[in-house]
Amino acid sequence: MKIQPVASNERVEAIDMMRGFALLGILIINMLTFHSPLSYVNPYTYYTRPYDAEIYGFIDIFIQASFYPLFSMLFGYGLAMQFLKAEEKTQLFIPLAARRLLVLLGIGILHAFLLWYGDILITYAVIGFLLIGMLNLPSRLLAWLAVLIYAVPHALLLALMFIAVSANPNFYTGIQAVQSSIDAYANGTFVDIFGQRLSDWVYSNNPFNFIIQIATILPFMMAGAAAAKWRLIERAKQYRKVWIFLAVVPLLAGLLLKATPQLFDKNYAFVYLQDIFGGPLVAVGYAAMIALLAQNAALRKLLRPFGQVGRMSLTIYIMQSLIATLIFYSYGFGLYGQVDLLTGTLIALGIFAIQLLFAEAWLSKFNQGPLEKLWRRLTYRKSFENNSNSKP
């Protein structure tokens, strides 16, 4: 027997809502790299236009490093759901999962080198291969290993950073890289942009950074997989007290940690503390809030548009990069380096509003997004009936 794709009536609506909400936060924070050379500057001093400091402070505390952990956990949750489904039906899982991840890797490579260097799909695909080898582990062991793999290296790095910051508290600012980015993205040819995009990708994905990514994202996926084995989201009513706790304690603790650069000192050690330890706690708090809100029929109706976006998350994610690069790169409107944080954030909100309408319209006629359909076909190696993706 072959594993069949998840039918629409088998979807867990709260998961789609969380995924859609995560895509909003991801777009807002990614917008900073769409319109400015964020990788090479000190964000606390680079943005100096009116309201920039206030807007960046809000993004820094409530958005930065709090949405990719949520999305990573949901990725692990979804992969584990497929594993459990295969196990229940005594079907092979690893060949399917490997094909699915290979297709995702291919999409990620095209995205990273033809659209935007900040792609996360390559990382998800590579780390996903590590995760599928761990899905046989008991949920409790998965959760504790996730904590161990995450906490130990990051705690050591944080300690080293606080030692180092006493000698040199300044952020690195690559003046030449900043100018190169502006020249290429705002005014360069497609070849110039490709070269800069490749350079930026290599800078962000050097071997050391990739090891850090594994020690960061793999534990998130493992935690999501453990939660899937416990069916925490599907049984949200049963675990209501657990979700209430997660919606209050981690969220408050995470926001406090994320405010440390604003409260104490804006150096890279406090930023690391903020992002690595504060960000995931806030992500858990956001997920818990959505899990609880989704239990109420009226609130669930309000959250439904996020669920529609979440149902076609791959299409929406790639679409965000396509629209943003057309706005900011020279082959579009060429506005790279010319907008302030307020304008950039409003553009992000405008794009997402359009995507909410797009997702609703598309899913009123089809059961999945266009890239999801492609991903599904390449994964299952078969052509579906002509009307399989059409609404009756």
Tens of pLDDT along the chain (392 residues)? 344 444 444 468 999 999 999 999 999 999 999 999 998 999 998 998 889 999 999 999 999 999 999 999 999 999 999 999 998 888 889 999 999 999 999 999 999 999 999 999 999 999 999 999 999 999 999 999 999 999 999 999 999 999 998 877 777 677 899 999 999 999 999 999 999 999 999 999 989 999 999 999 999 999 999 999 999 999 999 999 999 999 999 999 999 999 999 999 999 899 999 999 999 999 999 999 999 999 999 999 999 999 999 999 999 999 999 999 999 999 999 999 999 999 999 999 999 999 999 999 999 999 999 999 999 999 987 544 444 444 43
Kindly state whether residue 386 falls inside one of the protein's structural domains. Answer: no
pLDDT of residue 11: 66
pLDDT of residue 367: 94
Q: Which residues on adjacent β-strands are paired with residue 390? A: 366
pLDDT of residue 170: 73
Quote the CA–CA distance of 71 and 283 in Å, as a whole number: 9
Kindly state whether residue 261 falls inside one of the protein's structural domains. Answer: yes
CB 74 within 8 Å of CB 220: no
Whole-Å CA distances, 280 to 61, 162, 258, 277, 308: 12, 20, 10, 6, 24
CB 2 within 8 Å of CB 82: no
pLDDT of residue 382: 56
Quote the CA–CA distance of 63 and 58 in Å, as a whole number: 8
Domain that holds residue 196: 8-74+139-380
pTM above 0.85, yes or no: yes
Quote the CA–CA distance of 112 and 120 in Å, as a whole number: 8
Quote the CA–CA distance of 170 and 175 in Å, as a whole number: 14
Angle between helices 207-230 and 68-88 (to 10 degrees): 50
Kindly state whether residue 118 falls inside one of the protein's structural domains. Answer: no
pLDDT of residue 386: 41
The count of other CB atoms within 10 Å of the CB of residue 6 is: 15
Kindly state whether residue 111 falls inside one of the protein's structural domains. Answer: no
Q: Which residues on adjacent β-strands are paired with residue 366? A: 390
pLDDT of residue 9: 40
Kindly state whether residue 109 falls inside one of the protein's structural domains. Answer: no
Kindly state whether residue 58 falls inside one of the protein's structural domains. Answer: yes
Kindly state whether residue 179 falls inside one of the protein's structural domains. Answer: yes
Kindly state whether residue 231 falls inside one of the protein's structural domains. Answer: yes
| Number of domain units in the chain | 1
